[in-house]
C-alpha cells in the first residue's frame, strides 16, 4: 500500500544524501528487470549493499523501505540479526513476508489460494531444512498452513525407527539377502523423499511467483516486490550463510528483489569460519549476488557541517587553532579514522557539552576532542591516562602524528606562519594543566599560552593577588563534562 508520508519527511535527517542513492538504486533495479524481461530472462534480482560498519546502512534501508512504499511498491524489511537465534533463516523470512501480504488477501481471492500453496510447501521445506526448528516457530511462519503439515514433523522423526525395524527384520531372517532387501527398501525411500523435496521446492516457487503476480496486478503495479535484509554481517556465521542460501535457492522467483546490506569483508570472515581460512570466501559470496553496490566514500567535512547546521550549534562557544571550529573538528575525526556513526555520537557529546558549559571562556577543542573520542570508543585506560595528564601516553594510532595545520606562532622577531602538529599542541596544553593557571613560561607556540592567559583575564580579571596561590584551569573539568554529556544518549532508531 502506498505511503502518504512525504519524501521530504522520510529523508529529513539525511546528512549523507542517501536519498540520491535510493532513487538511483530503484531506477537501476527496475530498469534492469525490464531489460531481463525483454530478452526472456528471469525478473528477479539480488543486490549486495556493501558498506562498512557505521556508514548508515540501517538508516538507509529503513528510509528506503518508506521511499519504496511511497512510490507504490510493496517492501518488506528484515533485521537478520534479530532473528539469528533461530535454527534456519527460512522461517523468519517467511514470517515477515506473511505479515506484509496479509492486507492483500481474503478467503476467496487468488492471492489467498496461492499463499495457501506457498505456506503448505513452506511447511514441508521447513521440516526438511531445519528439523530442529520448533513447531511454534513454524506456526508463526506459515500461519493457517501449519495444521496441514504439522503431522509431517512427527512422520519425519520416524526415520530411525524405520531403520531399526528393518535391521531387526534382517536379524530375524538371519541372511545377507535379508539385509540387502532392507537396504534396497531404505534406498528407495531416500530417493522418494528426495523427489518429494524437489517437488515441494518447485511447488513453493511456483505458488510464490503466482502470488506476487496476483498482488502486483491487484495494485496495478509493474512491480517488483522488495525485500530488504539488514545486519547480516552481525549474525553468527552459519546463520548468515543459511540466509543467503535460502534467498538464492528458494526465493529467487519472478518480480522479487532482495537488497541485502553487508559489510562484505566481515562476511568473508564468516564464510572462512565455516569453510576454513584457505577457502575463497569472496568468490563464494559473489555467486549469491547479481551485483554489489557501494556507497560513495562520505565527505567528513560535509557531514560535520550538516550536523552543526542542522542542530544550530553555537561555534562561538568553542576555540581551536583554526579559524573554523567545524573544519577542525572534522579534521580530528578524519585523521583519527572515526566512522560516520561514531562521528555523530562524538558530535552529540560535543553538542551536549556546549549546552552544559556555563563558563565565560570557550571550550578548547584541542583537549576536548581526544577526551570525547576516547570516552566514546570505550578505551577507559587511554581516557584515564589523558585525564591524568600523562603526556607520554598519546597514542599515534589515535592522535595521528601527521595531523598538522598552518598557524601563526610567535618568535623573537614577530609572528610566523608554521606547520604545527596537533599532537604538539595537545602535549603543551596537558603539560601546562599540571601547573598553576597563571604560571608564565616561554613557549614556542602561542595557542596554548593564549588559552590560559585568556582564562586568567576573563574569569579571574587578571588579579595579580592570585599569583601567590594555586589556581587550576577550567580545562580540568572537561573529563567530568564529557562523562556527564555522554549519559544523554540519542534514542535508537
- The Cα–Cα gap between 433 and 130 comes to 63
Quote the DSSP letter at residue 48.
E
Q: CB of 455 within 8 A of CB of 361? A: yes
pLDDT at position 60 is 95
Beta bridge partners of 420: 405
Do residues 259 and 49 touch, judged by C-beta distance below 8 A? yes
pLDDT on residue 336: 86
- Distant-in-sequence, close-in-space partners of 474: CB < 8 Å, separation ≥ 6: 359, 361, 455, 459
Helix axes 176-218, 237-250, angle to 10 degrees: 70
The upper half-sphere exposure of residue 431, i.e. CA atoms within 13 Å in the direction of its Cβ, equals 15
Q: How many residues does the chain have?
A: 493
CATH architecture label of 7-157+194-294: 3-Layer(aba) Sandwich (3.40)
User: Which cell numbers hold the place of 277?
Assistant: 581460512
CB atoms within 10 A of CB 493: 7
Strand order in the sheet with 291-294: 75-79, 225-230, 256-262, 44-50, 291-294
Taking the chain (493 residues) in runs of 10, the rounded mean pLDDT of each run is 78 90 96 92 93 87 95 93 87 88 73 84 73 48 50 48 51 55 63 74 90 82 87 88 91 94 87 81 88 90 91 94 93 89 94 96 95 92 89 63 62 64 84 73 64 85 64 92 89 51
Span(s) in the chain for CATH 3.40.50.300: 7-157+194-294
pLDDT given at position 353: 97
The answer for residues whose C-beta is within 8 angstroms of residue 344's C-beta and 6 or more apart is 15, 307
Nine cell digits for residue 416: 610566523
pLDDT of 176: 57
Q: Are 357 and 324 in contact (CB under 8 A)?
A: no
| Angstrom distance (rounded) from CA 183 to CA 190 | 10
Q: CA distances (Å), 436 to each of 389, 452, 456, 460, 474, in order?
A: 14, 10, 11, 13, 12
Helix, strand and coil content of the chain, in percent to the nearest 5, comes to: 60, 10, 30
Query: What is the rounded distance in angstroms from the CA atom of residue 69 to the CA atom of residue 5?
Result: 9
What is the predicted pLDDT for the residue at 157? Answer: 46
What is the predicted pLDDT for the residue at 198? 80
Residue with cell 531372517: 173
Q: Which pTM does this prediction carry?
A: 0.71
Amino acid at each position: 500500500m502506498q505511503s502518504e508520508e512525504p519524501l521530504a519527511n522520510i529523508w529529513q535527517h539525511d546528512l549523507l544524501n542517501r536519498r540520491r542513492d535510493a532513487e538511483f538504486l530503484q531506477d537501476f533495479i527496475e530498469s534492469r528487470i525490464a531489460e531481463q524481461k525483454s530478452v526472456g530472462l528471469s525478473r528477479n534480482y539480488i543486490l549486495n549493499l556493501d558498506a562498512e560498519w557505521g556508514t548508515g546502512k540501517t538508516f538507509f534501508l529503513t528510509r528506503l523501505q518508506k521511499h519504496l512504499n511511497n512510490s507504490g511498491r510493496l517492501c518488506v524489511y528484515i533485521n537478520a540479526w534479530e532473528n539469528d537465534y533461530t535454527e534456519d533463516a527460512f522461517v523468519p523470512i517467511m514470517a515477515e513476508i506473511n505479515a506484509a501480504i496479509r492486507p492483500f488477501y481474503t478467503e476467496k481471492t487468488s492471492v489467498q489460494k496461492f499463499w495457501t500453496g506457498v505456506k503448505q510447501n513452506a511447511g514441508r521445506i521447513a521440516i526438511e531444512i531445519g528439523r530442529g526448528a520448533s513447531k511454534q516457530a513454524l506456526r508463526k511462519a506459515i500461519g493457517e498452513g501449519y495444521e496441514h503439515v504439522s503431522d509431517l514433523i512427527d512422520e519425519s522423526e520416524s526415520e530411525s525407527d524405520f531403520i531399526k525395524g528393518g535391521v531387526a527384520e534382517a536379524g530375524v531372517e538371519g541372511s545377507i539377502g535379508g539385509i540387502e532387501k532392507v537396504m534396497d527398501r531404505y534406498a528407495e525411500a531416500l530417493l522418494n523423499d528426495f523427489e518429494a523435496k524437489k517437488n515441494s521446492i518447485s511447488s513453493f516457487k511456483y505458488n510464490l511467483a503466482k502470488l506476487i503476480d496476483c498482488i502486483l496486478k491487484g495494485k496495478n503495479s509493474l512491480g517488483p516486490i522488495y525485500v530488504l535484509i539488514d545486519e547480516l554481517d552481525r549474525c553468527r556465521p552459519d546463520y548468515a550463510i543459511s540466509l543467503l542460501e535460502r534467498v538464492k535457492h528458494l526465493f529467487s522467483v519472478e518480480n522479487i528483489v532482495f537488497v541485502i546490506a553487508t559489510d562484505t569483508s566481515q562476511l568473508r570472515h564468516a564464510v572462512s569460519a565455516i569453510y576454513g581460512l584457505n577457502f575463497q570466501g569472496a568468490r563464494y559470496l559473489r555467486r549469491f549476488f547479481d551485483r554489489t553496490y557501494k556507497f560513495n566514500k562520505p565527505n567528513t567535512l560535509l557531514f560535520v557541517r550538516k550536523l552543526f547546521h542542522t542542530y544550530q550549534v553555537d561555534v562561538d562557544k568553542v576555540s581551536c587553532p583554526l579559524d573554523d571550529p567545524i573544519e577542525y573538528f572534522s579534521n580530528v575525526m578524519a585523521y583519527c579514522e572515526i566512522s560516520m556513526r561514531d562521528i555523530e555520537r562524538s558530535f552529540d557529546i560535543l553538542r551536549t557539552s556546549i549546552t552544559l558549559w556555563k563558563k565565560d571562556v570557550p571550550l578548547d577543542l584541542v583537549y576536548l576532542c581526544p577526551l570525547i573520542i576516547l570516552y566514546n570508543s570505550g578505551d577507559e585506560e587511554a581516557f584515564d591516562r589523558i585525564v591524568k595528564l600523562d603526556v607520554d601516553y598519546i597514542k599515534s594510532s589515535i592522535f595521528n602524528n601527521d595531523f598538522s595545520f598552518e598557524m601563526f606562532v610567535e618568535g623573537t622577531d614577530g609572528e610566523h606562519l608554521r606547520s604545527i602538529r596537533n599532537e604538539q599542541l595537545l602535549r603543551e596544553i596537558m603539560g601546562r594543566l599540571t601547573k598553576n593557571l597563571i604560571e608564565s613560561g616561554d613557549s614556542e607556540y602561542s595557542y596554548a599560552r593564549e588559552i590560559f592567559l585568556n582564562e586568567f583575564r576573563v574569569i579571574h580579571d587578571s588579579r595579580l593577588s592570585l599569583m601567590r596561590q594555586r589556581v587550576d584551569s577550567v580545562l580540568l573539568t572537561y573529563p567530568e563534562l564529557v562523562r556527564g554529556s555522554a549519559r544523554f544518549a540519542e534514542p535508537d532508531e
